[in-house]
Amino acid sequence: MSEHDVTLPRSTRGRRPHFFDNPETDVLMSVVLELAGELSVLYDRVDAMQRVMDAQGVLASKTLEDFEPTAEQAAERAERRQEYMQRLFRVVRSEAKVFPTSQAEEVLATVEEDLSR
């Protein structure tokens, strides 16, 4: 690291801004925006890979469609998916106090389990 590098904190100070009357709606909107950001990056990466492979004649579409991951690759995907779920629901966990139910963690665990299949 050089003397000009700056490390920013991973969490913000103060209260999260609220835009809707219902705080649960704000949390849901944060999750949706986080998901939208993740998808946008993914679409750009997939588009770039497809264009490069097509231009270089590297990979036929059928080969990609027929791909079956090995057990190790499937495990790597599951780990990446779990990390993704943690990032996606980070906001919900940090704002769990806004939910009127004491079952917020249980609900999140169920959602994460369903999405990670």
pLDDT in tens, 21-66: 777 777 788 888 888 898 999 999 988 988 888 888 888 777 877 8
pLDDT, position 84:
81
Residue 68, in any domain of the structure: yes
pTM: 0.50
Which residue segment(s) compose the domain that 83 sits in? 23-115
Residue 10, in any domain of the structure: no
Residue 39, in any domain of the structure: yes
Mean per-residue pLDDT of the chain: 77
Domain count, the chain: 1
Q: Which residue has the higher pLDDT, 52 or 18?
A: 52
pLDDT in tens, 59-85: 877 787 789 999 999 999 999 988 888
The owner of tokens 């389990």 is 113
Residue 104, in any domain of the structure: yes
pLDDT, position 105:
66
In this structure, which long-range contacts are made by residues 101-108, counting pairs with CB atoms below 8 Å and at least 24 apart in sequence?
A: none
Contact at 8 Å (CB) between 38 and 84?
A: yes
Angle, nearest 10°, between helix axes 104-115 and 71-88?
A: 150
pLDDT in tens, 102-112: 566 666 667 66
pLDDT, position 32:
84
Residue 11, in any domain of the structure: no
